[in-house]
Amino acid sequence: MKSSFGLRALGIIMAFLPTMATAEWNLNFTPSVTLLGEEIHAIHNLVMWIIVGISIVVFGAMFWSILKHRKSVGHKASNFHENTTIEIIWTVIPVVILIAMAFPATRLLLATRDSSASDMTIKATGYQWRWGYEYLDEGLKFYSTLATPRDQIDGGAEKEETYLLEVDNKVVVPVGKKVRILTTSNDVIHAWSVPGLAVKQDAIPGFIRDIAFKAETIGTYRGQCYELCGKEHGFMPIVVEVVSEEDYQTWMQAKLAESGAPSFDPDKEYAVAELVAAGEQVYNANCIACHQEGGLGMPPTFPAIKGGKIATGSMEGHLDIILNGSDKNPMMAAWGPILSDYDIAAVIAYQRNEINSSGDIIQPSEISAARAD
């Protein structure tokens, strides 16, 4: 009995070891690489010291009285119940402390909200559940989606160090430049925040807000969505890579070349197997969160694709809902702006031939034609 209990306890401890190995036991803010972030930490420290001071006085009096003025040590109760002088004193002192806090707080707030004279502007658009970025000066657009594999989330695989904080396309910015981020949203409210850069701004559908930061140190900084935006709220990270000016230019050129290239060869007739294989990747990256493994869905909010009316019905209807979203169910987003023609053709092939067995496919070139209509 005893040994089996011991073994079980050991087993439980072993099970926790992977998390213990990355033990951080953080007690304070993530170190900031912006000057404003450091100032925010400094004012936080100042407020904490004020609190320590007040605590010593208030809790000191409280515990002194708990120890000394108790019936069990024979203390007799006094009968005083007012003292105008002391009441004025303990109203005035907090006023003075608050005024002393308000000055640096006001100065810092004005500085953090100043997004003028920025060197570059990136628009960040919240989608359920990914971020879309647009470098306004260069016209570069891309989407940034969680890259942590599903099997790490479900516990099938060991979690990597950047678990849930890894994306397929990072935001890359040059070091020492003031970067202005415009935020907006395509559906519900999200919030764009990277603690290491000390920025947080809601992304609100129909409105554009802005925030700015200037990173002083090269490195990779990770953040998340901070406003509840539905089911996958915890799974839409933000990764900002701060690089040197040269590296930034190299990255930008490569990215522009990549985004200009067509996603498919218009002269090629794609085979079912090829599209299905590619479609599985697209499905796992974009559809599986709601429509689940094997297209089983979570009815009624997330209908099943397996045996579903749309995925077994007409090709036009299937393509329409993927390109334009659903009129009836606001949870089904329009994927036309997000996915390439090739990806849409692939995911349709996967849904119709792997999840279902309708047997038909649509060529990427036909998607381009459908978009043009």
Phi, psi angle pair for 248, to nearest 5°:
-65, -45
User: Near another protein by CB under 8 A, which window of 105-113, 135-143, 312-320, 361-369?
Assistant: 105-113
Beta bridge partners, 126, equal: 131, 185
What is the distance, to the nearest Å, from the Cα of residue 28 to the centroid of all Cα atoms in its chain? 20
Length of the chain: 373
Q: What Rg do the C-alpha atoms of the chain give, in angstroms?
A: 28
Site for another protein in 75-104 (CB under 8 A): 75-83, 86-87, 90-91, 94-95, 98, 101-102
Size of the site for another protein (CB under 8 A): 104
Q: Rounded to 10 degrees, what is the CA torsion of 194, 212, 143, 261? A: -140
Residue selected from 35, 147, 149, 231 as contacting another protein according to rule CB under 8 A: 231
Helix (H) or strand (E) holding 15: helix 2-21
User: Near another protein by CB under 8 A, which window of 19-27, 276-284, 320-328, 342-350?
Assistant: 19-27
Residue whose entry in the numeric block shows the structure tokens 């936080």 = 44
| 209 vs 306 by CB, closer to another protein | 209
User: Near another protein by CB under 8 A, which window of 68-76, 119-127, 134-142, 339-347?
Assistant: 68-76
What x-and-dash track marks residues 25-64 binding another protein by CB under 8 A? Answer: xxxxxx--------xx--xx--xx-xx--xx--xx-xx--
**What is the smallest separation between the CB atom of 249 and another protein, expressed in angstroms?**
31
Core vs surface per residue 118-145: b (16+ CB within 10 A) or e:
bebbbbbbbbbbbbbbebeeeebebbbb
d(CA 6, CA 72): 45
| 121 vs 152 by CB, closer to another protein | 152
Residue 116 in the binding site for another protein (CB under 8 A): no
Residue selected from 226, 247, 288, 338 as contacting another protein according to rule CB under 8 A: 226
Residue selected from 4, 11, 17, 72 as contacting another protein according to rule CB under 8 A: 72
| 4 vs 28 by CB, closer to another protein | 28
| 2 vs 81 by CB, closer to another protein | 81
| 333 vs 367 by CB, closer to another protein | 333
Site for another protein in 163-192 (CB under 8 A): 163-165, 183, 187-189, 191
Residue 134 in the binding site for another protein (CB under 8 A): no
Residue selected from 141, 209, 255, 306 as contacting another protein according to rule CB under 8 A: 209
d(CA 335, CA 339): 6
Residues 324 and 339: beta-carbon distance below 8 Å: no
Helix (H) or strand (E) holding 213: strand 209-214
Residue 137 in the binding site for another protein (CB under 8 A): no
Structure tokens at 371: 């978009």
**What is the smallest separation between the CB atom of 221 and another protein, expressed in angstroms?**
11
| 219-225, strands of its sheet edge to edge | 171-174, 238-243, 219-225, 190-194, 199-203
Residue selected from 3, 4, 19, 357 as contacting another protein according to rule CB under 8 A: 19
Site for another protein in 284-313 (CB under 8 A): 298-301
Structure tokens at 113: 């909200």
| 130-135, strands of its sheet edge to edge | 140-144, 130-135, 120-127, 178-185, 209-214
| 127 vs 270 by CB, closer to another protein | 127
Residue selected from 34, 112, 125, 286 as contacting another protein according to rule CB under 8 A: 112
d(CA 297, CA 291): 4
Single out the residue of 134, 130, 195 nearest to residue 166, CA to CA: 130
Site for another protein in 254-283 (CB under 8 A): none
Beta bridge partners, 190, equal: 203
**What is the smallest separation between the CB atom of 346 and another protein, expressed in angstroms?**
26
